[in-house]
């Protein structure tokens, strides 16, 4: 069995291949591998071997080409179209040129099946090592450096805003990022989550217009490390423009998370979220104002509520994957509640 076909088959055995059916129109491992390899062959050259295959928000394949180079192909299905992904690739390309550990974009965005495909060089990195506060400070410094490096691109690269900044009158929830979540079918029992999300939404409406470009999935899983040092930044389709407190409040809710590690609850505590904000303020060289802290708090509550709403969907529709454990997002939202994160 060819390498990529085998990896796709293993992924299918571990979980329902609904994403492949939606994006590529097939869940046959041989056909999925053929579509991916044909695209890469046409744009970069023949594929010699497969390194990994994963799916979550999109389909991701690590490949070794015939010339020995290693690349990562991602097929995006959610909130992804060329007008959005092209500016994201511009940001990624320019930040790579400015010394940030950004994989160099090679191809894309281009249509593939019902999705959009991009290819970038593979930049390897491991899991973080060191005491929790050391890694936390590294993550806070890294996000601050990202925002600073991207500052000249604000207004020049129209990457779009995060979905938590909704237009007044828009529905409370947008389409979930993963096809396994169904908010419409799981409303019962989630009313307390929706109430907190509505509070956050109301407080975010006057968030301000001073924008930065940030990474809205800034967490351990989407970064590569050498020790505690960040040496690779992944998941670039999460790049958006928003007020800086929104970027930081969102990151504080998830910076510890690595859902591939097998841990039951990789999310931070409320105290760890507060410490992350303090580390970020130290890295940027100034504290957030009272008004900015209120926006940061609302963005953090919004992120926690969305995570909890996804977790509630799993509790109703896929309880077997939780194995009786309380989802981390439910725990965190209960712990955080509606009280202020910051003084």
Q: Which residues form the domain of 62?
A: 3-121
- pLDDT at residue 263, as a whole number: 63
Number of domains forming the structure of the chain: 2
Residue 69, domain CATH: 3.30.200.20
- pLDDT at residue 166, as a whole number: 85
Q: Residue 214: inside a domain, yes or no?
A: yes
pLDDT 10s digits, 110-127: 999 989 999 999 998 999
- pLDDT at residue 16, as a whole number: 79
What is the rounded distance in angstroms from the CA atom of residue 29 to the CA atom of residue 34?
8
- Partners of 120 in the beta sheet? 72, 105
Same domain, 139 and 256: yes
Same domain, 45 and 186: no
What is the rounded distance in angstroms from the CA atom of residue 248 to the CA atom of residue 215?
9
What is the rounded distance in angstroms from the CA atom of residue 233 to the CA atom of residue 177?
20
Residue 255, domain CATH: 3.90.1200
- pLDDT at residue 79, as a whole number: 61
What is the rounded distance in angstroms from the CA atom of residue 159 to the CA atom of residue 165?
14
Same domain, 229 and 98: no
Q: Residue 126: inside a domain, yes or no?
A: no
Give the chain's residues under pLDDT 50: 1
- pLDDT at residue 178, as a whole number: 83
Same domain, 31 and 102: yes
Q: Residue 220: inside a domain, yes or no?
A: yes
What is the rounded distance in angstroms from the CA atom of residue 288 to the CA atom of residue 250?
15
- pLDDT at residue 120, as a whole number: 96
Closest CA to 72 of 260, 233, 238: 233
Q: Residue 251: inside a domain, yes or no?
A: yes
CA distances from residue 2 to 37, 49, 185, 329 in whole angstroms, order as listed: 11, 8, 39, 39
- Partners of 115 in the beta sheet? 112
- pLDDT at residue 106, as a whole number: 95
Same domain, 151 and 238: yes
Taking all residues of the chain, what is their mean pLDDT, rounded to a whole number?
92
Q: Residue 341: inside a domain, yes or no?
A: no
């Amino acid at each position: 069995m060819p390498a990529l076909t085998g990896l796709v088959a293993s992924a299918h055995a571990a979980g329902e291949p609904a994403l492949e059916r939606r994006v590529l129109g097939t869940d046959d491992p041989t056909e999925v591998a053929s579509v991916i390899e044909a695209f890469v062959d046409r744009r970069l050259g023949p594929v010699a071997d497969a390194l990994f295959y994963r799916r979550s928000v999109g389909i991701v394949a690590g490949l070794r080409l015939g010339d020995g180079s290693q690349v990562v192909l991602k097929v995006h299905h959610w909130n992804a179209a060329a007008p959005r992904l092209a500016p994201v690739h511009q940001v990624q390309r320019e930040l790579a040129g400015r010394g940030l550990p950004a994989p160099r974009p090679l191809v894309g965005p281009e249509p593939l099946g019902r999705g959009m495909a991009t290819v970038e060089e593979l930049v390897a990195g491991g899991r973080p090592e060191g005491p929790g506060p050391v890694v936390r400070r590294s993550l806070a410094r890294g996000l601050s450096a990202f925002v600073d490096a991207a500052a000249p691109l604000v207004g020049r690269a129209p990457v779009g805003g995060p979905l938590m900044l909704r237009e007044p009158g828009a529905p409370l929830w947008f389409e979930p990022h993963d096809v396994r979540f169904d908010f419409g079918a799981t409303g019962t029992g989630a009313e307390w989550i929706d109430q907190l999300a509505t509070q956050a939404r109301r407080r975010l409406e006057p968030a301000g217009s001073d924008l930065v470009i940030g990474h809205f999935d800034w967490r351990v899983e989407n970064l590569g490390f050498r020790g505690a040092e960040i040496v690779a930044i992944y998941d670039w389709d999460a790049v958006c423009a928003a007020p800086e407190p929104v970027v930081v409040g969102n990151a504080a809710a998830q910076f510890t998370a690595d859902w591939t590690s097998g841990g039951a609850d990789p999310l931070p505590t409320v105290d760890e979220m507060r410490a992350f904000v303090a580390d970020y303020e130290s890295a940027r060289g100034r504290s957030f104002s009272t008004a900015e802290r209120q926006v940061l708090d609302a963005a953090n509550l919004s992120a926690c509520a969305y995570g909890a709403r996804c977790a509630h969907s799993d509790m109703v529709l896929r309880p077997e994957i939780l194995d009786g454990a309380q989802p981390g997002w439910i725990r965190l939202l209960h712990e955080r509640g509606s009280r202020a994160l910051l003084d």
